[in-house]
Structure formats: C-alpha cells, structure tokens
Chains A and B, each alone.
Chain A
C-alpha cells in the first residue's frame, strides 16, 4: 500500500504499535494518512475489553474512508486483511467492498468479511448483497444471508428464499432459510 518513506511517521507508528493509547490513536487518525491504517487496525483488534475499545474503533472509522478502504482492498493480501477488519456492514458504502472480500482468494479476507456481515444496517445495498449471497459457495455466508433477509422481512424475497431452501444442502442453512420464510410469511398474515 502507500509506501512513500517518511521517517517521522514510521517512528510514530512504531511507537504506537509498541504502546498504543486511545489518545495517540485519535491523533494519528486525525492525520488522515492512509499509511497509519494497519497500526490502527492492529490496535483495534488487539484490544480485548475495557473502556478503550470504542476509542480505537472510532479512530479506524475516521481514517478508513471508502476511498482508503478501496485502495487497501486492491492491494496485497496483508493490505486486504487490514481493510477487511475495518469493514462493517452498518455502513452502506462498505457493502460493495464486503461483497468483493467475500470473493477474495485469501480465506482470512473472506472470513473477516463474513464476520462483518453479522452487524448491519438495513440499507438497500446490503439487501441486494444478502440476496446475491444466498448462492455463495460458503454455507456460513448463505446462513448469514438467510438470517439477514429474514430480519429484513420483505415479502418480495420469498421466491428467492424458497428457491434457496429447495436447493440447500446444509442443515443449518436450511433451518435459517425456513426460519426466514416463516418469519416473512407470518408477518404477511398478521393483521
């Protein structure tokens, strides 16, 4: 990814990586220098629990604009893994990148993107991704798609869900598809 050498920034990022703090994460994010993304993502995922967890996430969100994420997603495996960690289906602008990540050659990128589908907002882009993902090769992705469509509850999705139910070979996915169909049909019947 961006590789222009900068001794000051390199030293600052190295110091941050060795001893991260929320204040420094915010300060680094405020530089809006994409080269800082790996260090911020590392601090975010390394933090286990406690009051600082949200601060690291906010720092990543500030720096990881869709353009920065797209750039990283176009890079090497390490860059794509960094970007995948910063993706979240709550943000509609991240959805096309998640879709891309779900088809990535690297299984870790796929796995991280799969996880990002578990937290989402009901954007039209995500709805379309869920529909597409009913055909995904990975049963775990199909399961999340079924669950998402069931929660979104659109009667127009029933034909796709029923077709997927007929074709599905994985027990857990079939169970979620059946749940989604029942949920939507139930809401159609209610007064």
Chain B
C-alpha cells in the first residue's frame, strides 16, 4: 500500500478565523466537478440556489472590488462571483463580508477553463471547497477523462467509450465467458492494441498518481491514463504564496489526497494549510448540501470537531457501502 495520511476524526481547535476573516472579508472558491452522467447538474443548482437563500447576490464587479480593497488577490479567470454582506463576524464582533467564486464543470465542455479557475481559487482564496468525483484518489476533475476505442482486427472502430463505468461494464461482460476480470480483459486488449485510449485530461487537477484502490478497475484505468499523459496539471507544480488556507475535498475517499498534499506541496503548506476530506464513498445527491454546510459552519466560527460533525450530518451512512462512521476527517497543518 502506498504511503498515506488518513486524517483524524478528532481534530482539536478551530480554523484560523483571524486569518480567514482578515480585513473583514473572507474569500471562498467552490468547485463542483464533472460527472459523465450529469449528476453534477442538479448539485450546481443546489449550490447556486443555496447561496441565494443565504443572502448572496451575484455581482462580479463588486466582488472584485471587495477582494482588492481587503488585500486579497483578484481573480483573473472567468467565473461567477457572489457576495454576501456581513455574513459572519470576526473576533471583535465586526461584520465580515464573504465573496464566493463558483466554478462549475457543467456539461464538461469547457472543463479545462473551469479547472483553471478553481486552481486559481485554491491559490488566491482563504477557503476552497471541491465537490465531485475523487477520481480514485487522483484529484478533482472538471471534464471527461478519456475516450477508449475498441478496434476490430482490421483496425475499424467497433465501439467507443467515454466513461470508465461504461468500459468496465463492457469489459466485465466480455470477460465473463473467459472467466477474466474487467481489468484482465483491459490489459489484454490494450496489449493487443485492440483498445486504444485517447486522453482528455485538461479538466483534471492531479494531486496523486499512487493507486490506493488496486482492486478496482476504475482506479487502474484512471491512474494509467493520467500517468501516461505528460501534459497533466500536477498540483505539485503549482506555486502558492505563504498564507493560511482551508481546503475541503468532498469526493469519494479524498483522504487519499492528503499524503501528497502534505509532502509534494511545500509552498501550500508554508502558511498553514488545514485539510478536510472524506474517509469513505459519498454520493452525488449530497454534494451541494455538503459544500453549503461547510460554508455555514465557517460563517458561525465552528470548531473543527463541530465542522466534521456537521459534514457527517449531511452525509449519512449507507450500511450497504461497507464504510461506517463519520464521512469526513481532518488533517491539520502546522501554523507558522
């Protein structure tokens, strides 16, 4: 098993609110990733309507003015910016305005651009939250991953796949007669050049290329095709200034990200970086409410323990998926 950090269910203390709310402003980026079956779209709506219900209004121009006035870097990438006045209070009881930048993968058509806007938000915002596929521990994703063409013996395309679950289902069917797993069938077809993978990785932000789920076909496909792409965006290449940040990655088993975020991103850790992630599978239908829940908890200056409890409350256990207990864990950084 590759080295990993599991995070803790019992974190002490609270987010560094003095930094998050400095100059009476808090900047937040919320990213909702992509799903090949469109399950992200209802969650886009949940987040957008949830912001409005909390008193946020979309005002790109004013949001950028507020960010600049409070000494926060302004965004340069295209995204939607919402602002809420006096949504929180700082330690002195003074009102804190909150600017939320929304980066939504939508139909994945412009996934690369959305990924760029979210990546920019990871750097410039006090808080970053991602909800979407964990992509088997590899990182957030804002578009399709690949197309796989199945060729006949003359090189004609017999079938084309753009989603790993489709491909897995097909290979599982095909392998049954030969008593082979989907993975064995995949390896065999790739070796014979009967299955050709075309990568689409512009929407991936790659945190990790270790395979933490070697029993799962999708994990092999995901890691293999990302590893073979020299142009992927690795988080380890990103430059972050020295500043406190809080990041939530809400996808399946995103504690897989922790080890690399700590060991391969020294610049992100230099100013103190608190990480929240999941310790089990989660479900699309809970994503929007999870992101909004963290926003609510932060605005109320909750402790980490309270935050984990709150996140679990909107991600109830499903006895059938084998993972029991709270949904989220924390891995807290060292404050300078």
Q: A residues touching B (Cβ–Cβ < 8 Å)? A: 19-24, 42, 44-54, 57-58, 85, 88, 90, 108, 111-112, 114-115, 118-122, 140, 148, 151-153
With contact pairs A45-B37, A115-B37 given, residues A122 and B252 touching in the complex (Cβ less than 8 Å): no
Complex interface: chain A residues within 8 A of B282 (CB): 48
With contact pairs A19-B318, A50-B281, A111-B38 given, residues A121 and B158 touching in the complex (Cβ less than 8 Å): yes
Tell me whether B24 is interfacial, beta carbon within 8 Å.
no
For the complex, give the distance between the alpha carbons of A113 and B13 in Å. 48
Candidates B133, B144, B158, B170; contact of A48 at CB < 8 Å: B133
With contact pairs A21-B320, A50-B321 given, residues A151 and B157 touching in the complex (Cβ less than 8 Å): yes
**A119 and B160 form a contact (CB under 8 A):** yes
With contact pairs A45-B284, A46-B285, A50-B321 given, residues A122 and B159 touching in the complex (Cβ less than 8 Å): yes
Complex interface: chain A residues within 8 A of B251 (CB): 48
Q: Please name 20 further chain A to chain B contacts, defined as beta carbons within 8 Å, in addition to the given A53-B168, A115-B37, sorted by A numbering.
A: A19-B318, A19-B320, A21-B318, A24-B320, A48-B252, A49-B252, A49-B281, A50-B252, A54-B165, A54-B168, A58-B169, A108-B41, A111-B107, A114-B107, A115-B38, A119-B163, A119-B166, A120-B160, A151-B149, A152-B157
Q: B residues touching A (Cβ–Cβ < 8 Å)? A: 35-39, 41, 107, 109, 133-136, 144, 147, 149, 156-163, 165-166, 168-170, 172, 182, 215-216, 218, 251-252, 281-285, 318-321
Complex interface: chain B residues within 8 A of A90 (CB): 159, 166, 170
With contact pairs A90-B166, A115-B37 given, residues A20 and B320 touching in the complex (Cβ less than 8 Å): yes
For the complex, give the distance between the alpha carbons of A88 and B165 in Å. 12
With contact pairs A119-B160, A119-B166 given, residues A49 and B38 touching in the complex (Cβ less than 8 Å): no
Interface SS majority for chain A? helix
Provide a sorted-by-A list of 10 A–B residue pairs whose CB atoms are within 8 angstroms.
A19-B318, A47-B281, A48-B35, A53-B168, A85-B38, A118-B147, A118-B163, A119-B163, A140-B107, A152-B156
For the complex, give the distance between the alpha carbons of A147 and B125 in Å. 39
Output the residue of A22, A49, A53 with the most chain B CB within 10 A.
A49
Candidates A49, A53, A122; contact of B157 at CB < 8 Å: A122
Closest 10 CB pairs of A and B: A21-B320, A118-B162, A151-B157, A121-B159, A119-B166, A45-B39, A46-B283, A49-B252, A119-B161, A48-B252
Complex interface: chain A residues within 8 A of B37 (CB): 44-45, 85, 112, 115
Complex interface: chain B residues within 8 A of A121 (CB): 158-159
Q: What is the CB-to-nearest-CB distance from A191 to chain B, in angstroms, rounded to a whole number?
A: 13
Complex interface: chain A residues within 8 A of B182 (CB): 54
Closest to A139 in B: B109
With contact pairs A50-B321, A153-B156, A153-B157 given, residues A112 and B169 touching in the complex (Cβ less than 8 Å): no
With contact pairs A21-B320, A53-B218, A140-B107 given, residues A48 and B162 touching in the complex (Cβ less than 8 Å): no
Q: What is the CB-to-nearest-CB distance from A89 to chain B, in angstroms, rounded to a whole number?
A: 9
For the complex, give the distance between the alpha carbons of A42 and B165 in Å. 16
**A57 and B165 form a contact (CB under 8 A):** yes
Complex interface: chain B residues within 8 A of A20 (CB): 318, 320
Q: What is the CB-to-nearest-CB distance from A44 to chain B, in angstroms, rounded to a whole number?
A: 8
For the complex, give the distance between the alpha carbons of A53 and B321 in Å. 11
Complex interface: chain A residues within 8 A of B35 (CB): 45, 48
For the complex, give the distance between the alpha carbons of A23 and B322 in Å. 13
**B160 and A88 form a contact (CB under 8 A):** no
**B41 and A111 form a contact (CB under 8 A):** yes
For the complex, give the distance between the alpha carbons of A47 and B133 in Å. 10
Complex interface: chain A residues within 8 A of B109 (CB): 140
Complex interface: chain A residues within 8 A of B39 (CB): 45-46
With contact pairs A49-B134, A119-B166, A148-B160 given, residues A54 and B36 touching in the complex (Cβ less than 8 Å): no
Output the residue of B136, B166, B252 with the most chain A CB within 10 A.
B166
**A48 and B281 form a contact (CB under 8 A):** yes
Q: What is the CB-to-nearest-CB distance from A54 to chain B, in angstroms, rounded to a whole number?
A: 5
Complex interface: chain B residues within 8 A of A88 (CB): 166
With contact pairs A111-B41, A119-B163 given, residues A47 and B283 touching in the complex (Cβ less than 8 Å): yes
